[in-house]
Chains A and B, each alone.
Chain A
Amino acid sequence: MPGFATLPYDVAHVLDTLVLVLSFALLYQRRLFGVLTIYAWQALLLAAAAAWQAYAQDAPHLYITAGIALVFKAIIIPIALHRIIVYLDIHRTIETALGVGATLTVGVALVALSILLVLPVTTASGALTRESLAAALSVVLLGLLMMITRRNAVSQVVGFMSLENGLILAAVGVKGMPLVVELSIAFSVMVAFIIFGVFFFHIRERFDTLDIHDMERFRGERR
């Protein structure tokens, strides 16, 4: 069982932590293209983490997960989003619902919460799993935080996919997770990506209001 201060543990820990750090970077980034770049980096690191876990756990199917992460998340999705932004001429700056400083403070609190939660629960399992799980839960919560503190639709999508990165991170950290789960998650993200793409075409940057009043007037209701 890999314990502290062994090579598999250290490398996995560094990769997990880097994914987490990039989640923070997503939180304070104010430019859209910057957000996409950071997301691509995060996906790249996720691929690296998955590959490392495949090597450390001797589970070759995780290489496929790493490949999916690399091809889809680090390359195709960022490029596609980039093209959409250029094509639709979306505002390049991100309006925040909560200031960057406050967001980062909440983010730190969330990380503390996930560590408090995960570490006592998983005392029975190996250190590799425990640290990974804490980092993964933090990434999930930070992705959710990003979705709710950004008014821009593109950054909400990126937040959602960053959240999904956290799920994959948790999945690869646990021994014996079958490939099916990861594949299904990957495809669900693909579907979500397509749906969000369609949304962009229809609602552009008015995503945040999704104007209910227009619909009511259209339906002839009075409230």
Chain B
Amino acid sequence: MLTALLPVLLAYGAASLSGIIFGRRAQVVVYGLSALAAAATALAAARFLAAGAAPESALLPLGLPWIGAHFRIDSLSAFFLFVIGLAATLISVYALDYGKHDAEAGRVLPFYPAFLAGMTLVPIAADAFSFLVCWEGMSVASWLLVLATHRQAETRNAAFLYLVMASLGVGALLLAFGLLAGGQGDYSFAAMHGAALDRWRSGLCFVLILIGTGSKAGMVPLHVWLPPAHASAPSHVSALMSGVMTKVALYGFIRLAFDLAGPAPWWWGAVVLLLGGVTALLGVLYAVMQHDLKRLLAYHTVENIGIVVIGLGLALAFRADGLALLGALALAAALLHVFNHAMFKSLLFLGSGAVLVATHERDMEHLGGLIHPMPVTAFVFLIGAVAISALLPFNGFVSEWLTFQAIINGALLPQWLLKFAVPVVGAMLALAAALAAVCFVKVFGTVFLGRARRPAAAEAKEVSALMLAPMAGFAAICTLVGVVPQSILGLVRPVAASLIPGGPGIELSDWPWLAPLGPDHSSYSGIVILLAVTFLTALSVLVIHRFASDRLRRSAPWDCGFPDPRPETQYTASSFAQPIRRIFGSIAFAATERIDMPGPGETRPAAIEVSLSDPVWEGIYAPTARLVGLLSERLNLLQFQTIRRYLSLMFAALVLLLLIVAVSQ
């Protein structure tokens, strides 16, 4: 399996090189090679998983002398490689055509394969050094991709924020690895695996892991960089960053927290669980307030990361309390959601890219009525929207249903804190799922239904078949996994079982029913539901057409609530979100509405102004930035001193250090 990845990496290297040398003329080569390499990755990983093959490792004489670079693949790595490869294949095919519309292709082509190579290498790295190098390679490549549209000030700000947060994250990971290695100097994962840390060290290590991987995955409150960065990148890169890179970050969390950091006490699970609940809820609330299509999708990524993290937290808690079957269920739910989110989020970002190509608009308030010029895009986007809203019979429902199965059994946990916390988090998850549905009703209704609000939207044309096909592929996967979840759960099951030792793993034998905890617990069958839905729909159609009254009645047509034919009178995205904003926004975002009503006799129009403030930004980041600014200003004085003052400072530092040595010995 590892040898199969060698040509993949070579292909990425060749693609990157041709992107550097030939610029945008190499577009077909770059994206074509990337698609082939990603497909090979996905195939190899799927074969590895399906065969249940034993872990393989390799030691390459690269990197630091005498240490080398360790690589290892086990079922967890293979599962993430499968997700990365599958999503990257379709996204690269899409990019074959989308890239032609990219004004800055020369800035994208060299880094796109490098980004994919970084993401492929992170799951197989098996020592701290190569892990961090690959992780940083992935970060830097994606940062450069975000900077492709660097002429917009918004992008530059987003990229700067991303860089700062990525540095913070990798700094935390570096320290975590340092703690895990425990001063033995052996930074291979195999050595860390056996390391026993005391309570305080392992707790500190866990917090560092959470910061390091959470900042990349977009966990609240470390999510602030994610929406601007993902929204600024070209759409196929957004799809990769949102759909795939956040998954690599979650892989990092699972590898470190479940595998390397040793037996986790239950409070780790509690912390992760609560963070997941807050992330899911805040993410979707942010999303509802947005009217930039790509930014909205990016906030939904935050929400979905929260859902996965809830599953991971439950798995940690169940594992700490020895409830292996429930732990395996929670972990399987989380991993399935990882797969699902990679699929439907990529689909939605590709759909937003298609809208962008057709209209050059990201602001939903300027779109509308796109279902008429772009019926296929609208249809696949609808499937993605329904899937992410966790509705039947698509894949999002299955993973959230499994998560809820784990939540319902949270009462079996012995700790009272968890007994109370788990239902609360369940309520948060339910609310988040409902709000996600609201949000996508808003998106679909505003973008695709109604009438065009701007000429650009009215003149839109359907995108090419080459762009539609990958989107249709994602939509098909979403449907297939929703109807036959066993297909992916079969791959997930050994992964979950390997990380939650001592249990039989979830039950999958009862086809077509999915009853993960055994036949006497809740069950789900996508096929039965699909058949039932089809049957009931057909029945309703039949009943209506066959038995409804066929008497003819003439009347004025209903004007759909807007008798004024101008498109501005349509219900806007902001109007749709207003009730939610009233209910939750006043608490979460201190939302205030100010109505500017002209006095009698004035001719200016009335206006309503909404102001939102971001609690995380105002509460954490703004004070930190102010503090850093203040300190820098103070320290800036040091930049303008005479030579004698500099020497005095050095002298003082030297004497101080010498004094410390003298006193301490």
Contact = CB atoms under 8 A, between A and B. Distances in A.
Nearest to B659: A113
A113 B658 contact: yes
Contact of B644 (A97, A113, A116): A97
9 contacts: A110-B655, A117-B662, A141-B654, A144-B651, A145-B651, A148-B647, A208-B642, A208-B644, A210-B642
Interface in B61-94: none
B643 interface: yes
B102 to A, nearest CB: 40
A180 interface: no
Given A97-B644, A144-B654, A208-B643, 14 more contacts: A113-B659, A114-B658, A121-B665, A141-B655, A145-B651, A147-B644, A147-B647, A147-B651, A148-B644, A148-B647, A156-B643, A156-B644, A208-B644, A210-B642
Contacts of B642: 208-210
A220 interface: no
B644 to A, nearest CB: 6
A144 B652 CA distance: 10
Contact of A212 (B640, B651, B655): B640
A209 B643 CA distance: 8
Interface in A117-157: 117, 120-121, 141, 144-145, 147-148, 151, 156
Among A116, A151, A209, chain B packs the most CB atoms within 10 A around the CB of: A116
A148 B648 contact: yes
A5 B201 CA distance: 54
B658 A148 contact: no
A144 B647 contact: yes
Contacts of A207: 643
B651 A148 contact: yes
A120 B665 contact: yes
Contacts of B643: 156, 207-208, 210
A83 to B, nearest CB: 24
A146 B582 CA distance: 70
A117 B650 CA distance: 19
Closest 5 CB pairs of A and B: A148-B648, A116-B662, A148-B647, A117-B662, A144-B651
B662 A113 contact: yes
B607 interface: no
Interface of A is mostly: helix
Interface in B627-665: 640, 642-644, 647-648, 650-651, 654-655, 658-659, 661-662, 665
Contacts of B651: 144-145, 147-148
Contacts of B659: 113
Contacts of A141: 654-655
Contacts of A110: 655
Of the four ranges (under 10, 10 to 19, 20 to 34, 35 or more), the interface on chain B belongs to 10 to 19
A147 B235 CA distance: 60
Contacts of A144: 647, 650-651, 654
A113 B659 CA distance: 7
A151 B662 contact: no
Contacts of B654: 141, 144
Nearest to B661: A117
A30 B470 CA distance: 85
B647 A113 contact: no
Interface string A204-217: 00011110100000
B648 A113 contact: no
A66 B412 CA distance: 84
Contacts of A212: 640
Contacts of B640: 212
Given A144-B651, A148-B651, A117 B658 contact: yes
Contacts of B650: 144
A210 B646 CA distance: 12
A121 B661 CA distance: 10
Nearest to B650: A144
Contacts of A208: 642-644
Contacts of B661: 117
A202 to B, nearest CB: 14
A150 to B, nearest CB: 8
Contacts of B658: 113-114, 117
Nearest to A211: B642
A151 B645 CA distance: 11
A2 B505 CA distance: 76
Nearest to A137: B658
A64 B446 CA distance: 88
Among B644, B647, B654, chain A packs the most CB atoms within 10 A around the CB of: B644
Contacts of A148: 644, 647-648, 651
Contacts of A116: 662
A116 to B, nearest CB: 5
Contacts of A121: 665
A120 B659 CA distance: 13
A120 B643 CA distance: 34
A209 B641 CA distance: 8
A48 to B, nearest CB: 28
A167 to B, nearest CB: 14
A117 B665 CA distance: 8
Contacts of B648: 148
Contacts of B644: 97, 147-148, 151, 156, 208
A207 B647 CA distance: 13
Interface in A179-223: 207-210, 212
A141 B662 CA distance: 15
A125 to B, nearest CB: 16
Nearest to A151: B644
Nearest to A147: B647
B647 to A, nearest CB: 5
Interface in B423-475: none
Contacts of A120: 665
B638 to A, nearest CB: 12
B546 to A, nearest CB: 85
A148 B652 CA distance: 10
Interface string A42-75: 0000000000000000000000000000000000
B135 to A, nearest CB: 40
Among B640, B643, B650, chain A packs the most CB atoms within 10 A around the CB of: B643
Nearest to B654: A144
Nearest to A109: B655
Nearest to A153: B643
A43 B630 CA distance: 48
Nearest to A215: B640
Contacts of A151: 644
A151 B642 CA distance: 10
B634 to A, nearest CB: 15
A39 to B, nearest CB: 18
A209 B645 CA distance: 10
Contacts of B662: 113, 116-117
Contacts of B647: 144, 147-148
B645 to A, nearest CB: 8
Nearest to B645: A148
B152 to A, nearest CB: 29
B581 to A, nearest CB: 45
Nearest to A114: B658
A145 B648 CA distance: 8
A124 to B, nearest CB: 14
A208 B650 CA distance: 17
Interface in B19-62: none
A144 B651 CA distance: 7
A113 to B, nearest CB: 6
A123 to B, nearest CB: 11
A189 to B, nearest CB: 17
A121 B658 CA distance: 12
Nearest to A216: B640
